[in-house]
Amino acid sequence: MPKNMPPRFVLPLWPAVDRILSVIHHIRPLRADGSGIVSLDVCHYNGHAIVLNDGSEVKTGDTIIELHLNNAWFKRRRKLNLRASQSPREFLGCFAQDLHFLAKQVIDGKFEGVAALHGSTLQHVAATRLGFQVEELPDSLWKKGARFYMAGLMQIYHLRGDEVSGLREKPWELKEVWLSRAALLTRYGPKHP
């Protein structure tokens, strides 16, 4: 078994751990009915100031939206025998729809003062297709633990364990992704004629 992959016998614990972490971090689905692929929590950024590719700056203390995948979305689709969790095109399409929804909410004032969207992901290649800027994370115990945890989530919720191409053969790198408020509204906001 590759390094940093959870052994199968511990995977039944992952849904309980996921629920506990969601409560601790106030993670909730973007859409009130829970039908979207995106979950989020609104928090204050506590890292070093970062200048994003579009020139936007995120400073310590700025309000950001931390993005998470709504694992219940994957679970429901699997129960319905829908294979979107294994279709990159549909996965990206659903995520883009939720970003359009989020942009509308930002325009409507629901997330006042938000400087940027942020996340940590093993799926950073997909994030670049959605317009996110990808940044390396420093090697740390947190990075190793988060990668281990996310690899377990991918096995039980998102993608189907050994059917995930490359997940067991090579380690996936955990990276940080950013999308400024301005970039969100430009790319996903309503188009003006």
Residue 81 pLDDT: 58
Q: What is the pLDDT along the chain (193 residues), one digit of tens a residue?
A: 445 677 777 888 888 888 888 899 999 999 999 899 999 999 999 999 999 999 999 999 999 999 999 988 877 776 665 554 456 777 889 999 999 999 999 999 999 999 999 999 988 888 999 999 999 988 888 888 888 888 888 777 665 444 444 444 455 788 999 999 999 999 999 875 4
What type of residue is 80?
L
Number of neighbouring beta carbons within 10 Å of residue 96: 16
Q: Which residues contact 11 (CB under 8 A, 6 or more apart)?
A: 152, 155, 156
* Per-domain boundaries in the chain: 8-188
Both tokens of 155, joined, read: 């096995």
Which residue in 59, 47, 66, 51 sits closest to 133, CA to CA?
51
pTM for the full predicted model: 0.83
Residue 125 pLDDT: 87
Residue 124 pLDDT: 84
Residue 163 pLDDT: 44
CA torsion 43→44→46→47, rounded to 10°?
90
Number of neighbouring beta carbons within 10 Å of residue 102: 26
Residue 154 backbone phi and psi in degrees, to 5: -60, -35
Both tokens of 170, joined, read: 């090579």
